[in-house]
Amino acid sequence: MDPKILILDGDNLTTKNLYTYVMNPNARLKIHRECFAKINNSRLFLEKEMRRKIIYGVNTGFGPMSSRIIGVTESRELQKNLIISHAVGMGKPLDQEFILAAMLVRLNTILKGYSGVSCELVERLKFFIDNRIVPVIPEHGAVGTSGDLVHLAHIALALIGGGEVWYKNKNYPTENIFKKLKIANYDLKPKEGLSLINGTAMMVGIAAVLCVKAERLFSLAIRTSALALELVNAFEDSFSEELQKVRPHQGQIEVARALRNILNTSKLINKRASLEKIVNIPSSGIKNINKGIQEIYSFRCVPQILGPILDSLRKTQKDVATEINSATDNPIVDVRHKTILHGGNFHGDYIASSLDQLKIGLVKLILLSERRINFFLNQNVNRQFPPFMNLDRPGLTLGLQGLQFVATSTAAQSQSLAYPHSLHSISTNADNQDVVSMGSDAALFTAKVVDNAFILLTIETITLLQTVDFLKTYSKLSRSSQKLYTDLRKLFPKIVEDRVITDKLHKTKNFIEYSLDSENFSKV
């Protein structure tokens, strides 16, 4: 199978496949042939039922106006009015990768055959995705119940020729692209507008992208932790298998195992027995030794700090994997049981609460990184390195002093973002939506924390490489740390004399986020 082809069937989309497709402009979709039969059967069943039953959003108004029954002749106008009235978001445009991910999720969930749409709408959405016609969606608008209504309405608006889109990374009125590509206007059929906007596609599309990025973050955090341990000649028992066995949390065990796998090729890690050889226990009195017997927490407690974060990441990955392959609109057209189900599968609390927990973990990862940056740059704490890892003339040159301010301010901002946004429920829609998830904003705040984490890990990596240069210990590093050093030093040379590094900083962060070999932390 061509790796550039992503096959969608409604059931087997993964976060990694989604991310790979979104990041590869040459990738294309293929819809499993059985999906069209399911979609057609669902559509035919809905058209039959709508003539004899009251079906929410098909022959009724929406929200508190659902007691108004809509005539058959107005059913198409109803769908168009829904889209036009809800495509009212405000603020900065969302990232294109998030929007494309949301479109992909929406298509995949429709392919399950529970939405009652037509095959023509499926083809229209697929065409937009494959041709990277990405609707412009403002940031503010969704509360994450009854779906991401406002955000997704902007996607639906573009599908019928309204609003604005990005095409080949330029912004156009959608109608101009329709003329350019000779696309005919699309007339929404009954329920199709509702099926496009009533679901969790935006929040979970963002979450799917973030799951992949968070895994890359975690992999890098393991590698920076290992390198930090090498540079302070840490004792091996803090990440030993025996220590973790007496407190067998899964994440803690896996983090310690990853550290051992990296550090087994290092010549800088101390064995506990080496301390015993150089120290004689006095028979009486007090003897002061010029060596610490255990490291501070940001070094010694890496498995215990990163372990819970790994467990949160795994839970989020599981919740997102379930959601992107679920039917999340309302009502559900259940052909198999010959019924229309009204309910709340659009409610985003699974994703919102899961992302909040992941976000909290990533803020803790940021704080761990910030504390180690401080350790290496603060001579009053480490008592062995030059101030701010200055390799030239401290006092005249300032080394990484300015960079620590960036780490501190970014970490502080992340702490403010850590509060669970899913708790910010405010009743809306004339109190019809009285308990909401705030899932899309929870996803966007998590995205900001993910970006901040890449900034912190970039600064920490630069600090650690500078420490390697000061100690001249490259030859004694583990193979993984040597590779990390070599890969990054090609892009970011060591700082001796002060120089402008702003451009290099951005390029280094971008390289770490998107291009650095992402060693699977459990297999390095």
Give CA–CA dist 350/486, Å, rounded.
41
Phi, psi at 410, each rounded to 5°: -70, -40
β-partners of residue 172 are 165
Which is the catalytic residue, given 56, 186, 419, 474? 56
* HSE-up (13 A, CA, CB side) for residue 189: 13
Q: Is 485 a catalytic residue?
A: no
402 by Cβ neighbours in 10 Å (0-12 / 13-18 / 19+) ranks as: exposed
Peptide bond between residue 331 and the one before it cis (omega within 30 degrees of 0)? yes
Q: Which of 53, 9, 59, 57 is nearest to 31 (CA)?
A: 9
CA distances from 263 to 148, 235, 468, 476 (A): 46, 11, 16, 11
Q: Which of 154, 165, 27 is nearest to 96 (CA)?
A: 165
User: What is the number of other CB atoms lying within 10 angstroms of the CB of residue 458?
Assistant: 26
518: Cα separation from own chain's centroid: 16
Instruction: Give alpha helix (H) positions in 399-438.
Output: 401-417
Listed residue (173, 171, 46, 62) closest to 121, CA to CA: 46
Report the side by side order of strands in the sheet with 133-135. 133-135, 164-167, 170-173
Q: Which residues are catalytic?
A: 56
